[in-house]
Amino acid sequence: MGTKHTATELEHGHATHHDHAHDHDEHHETFVSKYVFSMDHKMISRQFLITAVIMACVAMTMSVIFRMQLAWPGEKFAFVNALLGDKWAKDGILDPNMYLALVTIHGTIMVFMVLTGGLSGTFANLLIPYQVGARDMASGFLNMLSYWFFFVSSALMLGSCFIEDGPASGGWTVYPPLSALPEAIPGSKLGMTLWLVSMAVFIISSLLGGLNYIITVINLRTKGMKMTRMPLTVWAFLITAILGVLSFPVLFSCALLLIFDRSMGTSFYLSDIYIGGRPLDNVGGSPILFEHLFWFLGHPEVYIVLLPALGITSEVISTMSRKPIFGYRAMIGSMLAIGFLSFIVWGHHMYMTGMNPFLGSVFVFTTLLIAIPSAVKAFNYITTLWKGNVQFTPAMMFSIGLVSSFISGGVTGIILADSALDINVHDTYFVVAHFHIVMGLSAIFGMFAGVYHWFPKMFLRMMNKKLGFLHFWITFISAYGVFFPQHFLGLAGVPRRYYTNSNFPMFDNLVDINEICTAFAIIGAFGQVVFLFNFFYSMFRGEKAPQNPWNSNTLEWTTPVAHIHGNWPGKLPVVHRWAYDYSKPGQEHDFVPQTVPLAEGEHDGGEH
């Protein structure tokens, strides 16, 4: 097998820095080994991306359906009936159980499949070997498994939408007893089992990927690539992977105990329950235990989603401002601080659960601390723009969009972290607005920035700039249009996950707010068609990419415009400087690739 041969060659080649001419023409790969069970990080990255794009389309369509229900409850929509059938949308009116199922699966797909698997899987895979100067991931085989577990997990999650009782519908946080008892909601029958299995498989994928990323960054850096010379993208992926490796196993045990409770009669999460006309035997468990275990992953998960996006934008903002990223070491420090703190803030999701209020106070303190490194990051981004020569590529525009949404969503986090203030907005639309803006929008903007920026490396062609601009403006405007007004729903006291607000007269005057949100959601969804067209069209017919279209410093732009095994023909590049020597005084060009040796008396790392 050609690929296997290459893998051993890679390690050897790296260890000794011998000249290994990776003559890729020798390998005659079959369709299966090249496109399906590929062990090449570039192919796996593309597999992750395309899977995530498809999953994102599904989740977005779901959101449009339930947004329409919220704006126009009781209206008949033929297309809803066409998509969901008579059982779940008779005459085109959405069924309340299906509403909850859509909300649940939308959240699950977006958080796990798109923003965890899709974002890390795509860009950590593409960029770690490229940017640290490695020939591939430490283990190509585990990397391949990581993708295929992800694929199975995604397929199971999609498949669960087609079963008789419908998919899981207890919210993406699947709190028991609702998720544990099939009598409580139809979605807690087979749908919930499939959800848990899908999640377990997803966790395996995430762990295989994460371990690989960590080992690759630690072991396979090329000569001269000190940790303090790594691009911030790699730092972000490294910290993300560490967070994932430490927290996903807890979700696994959390899910496993739920599986036990569901199928084997244990009582980890259940106690004193009377349902379906009979008292259950389960005594002594506590749903709050589940919440602790879930959020022990759940909160680091927020940063697993965010950090890669922040890493991508650090790189894009610096490159496109033609300036070094401001405060490189502070950026690393704040990511490390965010990563560490993210493990001790999970309780802020649980202020109102009956958890001891004193414990709540501890989490108020730790949660608000996390605002400090976040603020440092935001200010550093802004300072990077200052006196720059800002090049508005679509990637740069999405990065600026990210900084804006990171701020706008972040500031309301200050409110929600404060337990006393959380009392009245906990689980309302204020929270929905907050986390969609700070986590959802920021991460998806980061992902778009990454796609536009590294498309030439992924597909060797360029995306269309004008369509990119159009896509950015539609997305950016409609994203704020959907989520900003939801703060005001929260201030009026509207709870999350209500099928309709029309059963409470006190919410009747909010109809137009809901209509505005939904109108923007529909516009935003159509805006993504522009992206999809640009993406798939450019993949096959876009203009041919040059080697370094953005005049960037990092190593991936020193590879030839071809997908070859081992990334670099001949020797691996040797690194002489950090990644951010843009517009350095005394240099001929406004960029100095990392492979250029330091001149006599020249300082590295931002000194000059």
Partner 1 sequence: MKLLVLLAIVLLIIAGHQLLRIIELSRGLKKTKEWQLTNSDNNLMGRGMLIFMILFFVFFFWQILRWRERALPSSASEHGFKIDWLWDVNMNYIVIPVFLITNFVLFWFAYKYRGNTNNKATFFAHSNKLEMLWTVIPAVALAFIIIFGLKYWNEIMADASDPNRITVELYAKQFDWTARYAGKDGKLGTTDYRQISGSNSVGMDTSDVLGHDDILVKNEFHIPVGREIELLMRSRDVIHSAYLPHFRAQMNCVPGLVTAFKFKPVKTTEEMRKDPYVIQMMAGINKQREKEGKEPVIFDYLLLCNKICGASHFNMQMNVVVESEKDYNVWLAKQKPVKAMASK
- Scanning residues 577 to 606, which ones bind partner 1 (CB under 8 A)? 580, 582-585, 590, 605-606
Around Cβ 245, how many Cβ atoms within 10 Å? 16
Asked if 384 and 322 touch (Cβ cutoff 8 Å), the reply is no
For the record, the structure tokens of 331 come out as: 């950026």
Q: How far is the CB of 481 from partner 1 (least distance, A)?
A: 8
Which residues in 266-285 contact partner 1 (CB under 8 A)?
A: 270-275, 279, 283-285
Sketch the per residue contact string, 93 through 132, with partner 1: x for CB under 8 A, - otherwise. Answer: ---xx--x--------------------------------
Among 213, 454, 480, 568, which residue interacts with partner 1 (rule: CB under 8 A)? 480
Closer Cβ to partner 1, 28 or 74, answer by number: 74
Which residues in 45-64 contact partner 1 (CB under 8 A)?
A: none
Among 1, 352, 529, 599, which residue interacts with partner 1 (rule: CB under 8 A)? 352
Give the integer Cα–Cα distance in Å for 2 and 22: 12
265 counts as binding partner 1 under rule CB under 8 A:
no
Closer Cβ to partner 1, 244 or 456, answer by number: 456
Q: What is the 3 state secondary structure string of 301-329?
A: HHHHHHHHHHHHHHHHHHHHHCCCCCCHH
Q: Which residues of 123-133 are buried (b: 16+ CB within 10 A; e: fewer)?
A: bbbbbbbbbbb
Report CA-CA distances (Å) from 560 to 202, 224, 381, 386.
Answer: 34, 21, 31, 33
Around Cβ 540, how many Cβ atoms within 10 Å? 8
For the record, the structure tokens of 529 come out as: 């068609």
Closer Cβ to partner 1, 11 or 427, answer by number: 427
Which residues in 536-555 contact partner 1 (CB under 8 A)?
A: 537, 541, 543, 549
Give the integer Cα–Cα distance in Å for 91 and 94: 9
503 counts as binding partner 1 under rule CB under 8 A:
yes
Q: How many residues lie near partner 1 (CB under 8 A)?
A: 129
The residues with which 73 forms a beta bridge, in sequence order, are none
Which residues have a Cβ under 8 Å from the Cβ of 147 and sit 6 or more positions away?
A: 44, 47, 48, 121, 205
Closer Cβ to partner 1, 260 or 473, answer by number: 473
Residue 123, amino acid: F
Among 354, 560, 570, 597, which residue interacts with partner 1 (rule: CB under 8 A)? 354
Residue 386, amino acid: W
Sketch the per residue contact string, 163 through 202, with partner 1: x for CB under 8 A, - otherwise. Answer: -------xx---x-xx--x--xx-----------------
Q: How far is the CB of 375 from partner 1 (least distance, A)?
A: 4
Give the integer Cα–Cα distance in Å for 59 and 54: 9
Q: Which stretch binds partner 1 (CB under 8 A): 57-65, 143-151, 386-394, 568-576?
A: 386-394
557 counts as binding partner 1 under rule CB under 8 A:
no
Residue with tokens 């500031």: 411
Which residues in 221-240 contact partner 1 (CB under 8 A)?
A: none
Give the integer Cα–Cα distance in Å for 234 and 252: 26
The residues with which 461 forms a beta bridge, in sequence order, are 544
Among 205, 419, 475, 558, which residue interacts with partner 1 (rule: CB under 8 A)? 419
Among 510, 521, 525, 530, which residue interacts with partner 1 (rule: CB under 8 A)? 510
148 counts as binding partner 1 under rule CB under 8 A:
no
DSSP state of 26: G
Q: How far is the CB of 574 from partner 1 (least distance, A)?
A: 23
Among 415, 470, 539, 564, which residue interacts with partner 1 (rule: CB under 8 A)? 415
Residues composing the chain: 608
Sketch the per residue contact string, 7 through 46, with partner 1: x for CB under 8 A, - otherwise. Answer: ----------------------------------------
Q: Which stretch binds partner 1 (CB under 8 A): 33-41, 56-64, 404-412, 568-576?
A: 404-412
First and final C-alpha spacing in the chain: 50
Among 364, 447, 458, 479, which residue interacts with partner 1 (rule: CB under 8 A)? 364
361 counts as binding partner 1 under rule CB under 8 A:
yes
Q: How far is the CB of 74 from partner 1 (least distance, A)?
A: 10
For the record, the structure tokens of 216 come out as: 């690759």
DSSP state of 352: T
Q: How far is the CB of 371 from partner 1 (least distance, A)?
A: 6
Give the integer Cα–Cα distance in Å for 134 and 127: 10
Sketch the per residue contact string, 456 through 475, with partner 1: x for CB under 8 A, - otherwise. Answer: ------xxxxx--x---x--
Q: How far is the CB of 10 from partner 1 (least distance, A)?
A: 32
Give the integer Cα–Cα distance in Å for 491 and 250: 34
Which residues in 283-342 contact partner 1 (CB under 8 A)?
A: 283-288, 321-330
Which residues have a Cβ under 8 Å from the Cβ of 310 and sit 6 or more positions away?
A: 236, 335, 377, 402, 406, 442, 446
